[in-house]
Amino acid sequence: MSGRVLVGVKRVIDYAVKIRVKPDKSSVVTDGVKHSMNPFCEIAVEEAVKMKEKKLIKEVVAVSCGPQQAQETIRTALAMGADRGIHVEVTGKDYETLGPLQISKIMAALAKKEEAQLIILGKQAIDDDCNQTGQMTAALLDWPQGTFASEVSLEGDKIKVVREVDGGLETIKINIPAVITADLRLNTPRYATLPNIMKAKKKKIANMKPADLGVDITSRLEVLRVDEPPQRQAGVKVETVEDLVSKLKEAGLV
């Protein structure tokens, strides 16, 4: 297989940040908060760049949807070795309601436009934990999917994917073109090097809007409320086994 890989990269609140809910309970605070590339997207970029270094594919295109700042995330992908970027501009209320369905429609449209042979995404984003975009994108394109990938290899005109599933590891072979979603153990993403960061400045990022791709990004979901997790309640110490059993019975648990 030779050809083009699309890699989706999402700008999320950095994993180390302490999340705070807005006083109006509408969402979490993002202003002035440190953002970075979703860790699973970093793994996706790394996998694509490794494939290119092994000469299995020709071009890695990094895609991000969002406001102006999404370009920072694309630049990070370029600094890791992606060849060019596509920024699909979505701002304001549209950005707040952007979810897996909208992204997968955009990715599917781009895959057709760019004649991509492979889409690699992170298995999920660490902000919404949806774990849907890869699967929906494959469905919209009617492509096979290899999700939760911990190992990916090309075997002729097929892709072998080892998947991390609840029971252990599952190995499947799927046709190209396909959608892969990256799990934690797929690889260890490289640091961008200083020279690569500087080279990335010269790489192109194309700008477009969802409408240019004929995609309707209206959301079918409405977020009613965002709350902090409930405070952990103090436990109760009991003296005897009989006390324990009676407390469990009181709580209706036995």
Partner 1 sequence: TFSFSFTAHGLTDEQREFQKVAFDFAANEMAPHMAEWDQKELFPVETMRKAAQLGFGGIYVQPDVGGSGLSRLDTSVIFEALSTGCVSTTAYISIHNMCAWMIDTFGNTEQREKFCPQLCSMEKFASYCLTEPGSGSDAASLLTTAQLKGDHYILNGSKAFISGGGDTDVYVVMCRTGGKGAKGISCLVVEKGTPGLHFGKKEKKMGWNSQPTRAVIFEDCAVPVTNRLGEEGQGFNIAMKGLNGGRINIASCSLGAAHASVQLARDHLLVRKQFGETLSNNQFLQFKLAEMATKLVASRLLVREAATALQENRPDAVSLCAMAKLFVTDECFNICNQALQMHGGYGYLKDYAVQQFVRDIRVHQILEGTNEVMRMIISRNLLTESS
Among 29, 139, 169, 198, binds partner 1 (CB under 8 A): 198
In the complex with partner 1, the residue whose CB is nearer, 14 or 170, is 14
Among 53, 72, 128, 243, binds partner 1 (CB under 8 A): 72
Per CB under 8 A, which of residues 76..105 are in contact with partner 1?
Answer: 76, 79
Per CB under 8 A, which of residues 19..48 are in contact with partner 1?
Answer: 32, 34, 36
In the complex with partner 1, the residue whose CB is nearer, 176 or 197, is 197
147, HSE (Cβ side, Cα atoms, 13 Å): 16
Amino acid 63 reads V
Placement of tokens 């781009």 in the chain: 110
Q: Helix, strand or coil for residue 218? A: coil
Per CB under 8 A, which of residues 213..252 are in contact with partner 1?
Answer: none
Give strand pairing partners of 35. 13
Placement of tokens 């997968």 in the chain: 104
Window of 9-17, 138-146, 172-180, 243-251 that interacts with partner 1 by CB under 8 A: 9-17
Amino acid 52 reads K
CB 15 within 8 A of CB 126: yes
- 16 is a contact residue toward partner 1 (CB under 8 A): yes
Shortest Cβ 193–partner 1 spacing (Å): 5
- 194 is a contact residue toward partner 1 (CB under 8 A): yes
Cβ neighbors of 110 (< 8 A, separation 6 or more) are 6, 63, 86, 88, 116, 213
- 14 is a contact residue toward partner 1 (CB under 8 A): yes
Shortest Cβ 109–partner 1 spacing (Å): 28
127 burial (CB, 10 Å; 0-12 / 13-18 / 19+) is: middle
Rounded Cα gap, residues 121 and 57, in angstroms: 16
Window of 55-63, 143-151, 186-194, 206-214 that interacts with partner 1 by CB under 8 A: 186-194
Among 101, 111, 182, 192, binds partner 1 (CB under 8 A): 192
Per CB under 8 A, which of residues 110..149 are in contact with partner 1?
Answer: none
Shortest Cβ 197–partner 1 spacing (Å): 5
Give strand pairing partners of 89. 66
Give the pair of three-digit tokens for residue 141. 């394109």
